[in-house]
Amino acid sequence: MVFKKITLIGTSDESFEDAVDDAIERAETTLENVHWVEVDELGVEVATADHREYQAEVTIAFQLED
């Protein structure tokens, strides 16, 4: 098996967990064979947002087809 990794940044107005879920859900709708997710960084946007925007940078690993 061969896997490829990509980095995505999910966002949420509610929580870091929802931001991670946002990235995972997007990956699962556009990629096939998603196998695991690594949470790399968490952050909160406060400078330009009217409210907090939780951000999660994640690495998505998916299996390449044969």
The string of pLDDT tens digits covering residues 37-60 is 999 999 998 877 678 899 999 999
Identify the pLDDT of residue 46: 81
CATH architecture designation of domain 3-63: 2-Layer Sandwich (3.30)
- Confidence bin at 5 (pLDDT 50/70/90): very high
Residue 51, token pair as written in the block: 């409210």
Burial code of 16-41, b = ≥16 C-beta within 10 A, e = fewer? beebbbbbbeebeeeeeeeeebeeee
- Sequence spans of domains, the chain: 3-63
One-letter amino acid at 3 equals F
pLDDT in tens, 20-33: 999 999 999 999 99
The pTM of the full predicted model, rounded to 2 decimals, is 0.85
Residue that has been written with the tokens 């995505």 in this structure: 8
Identify the pLDDT of residue 59: 98
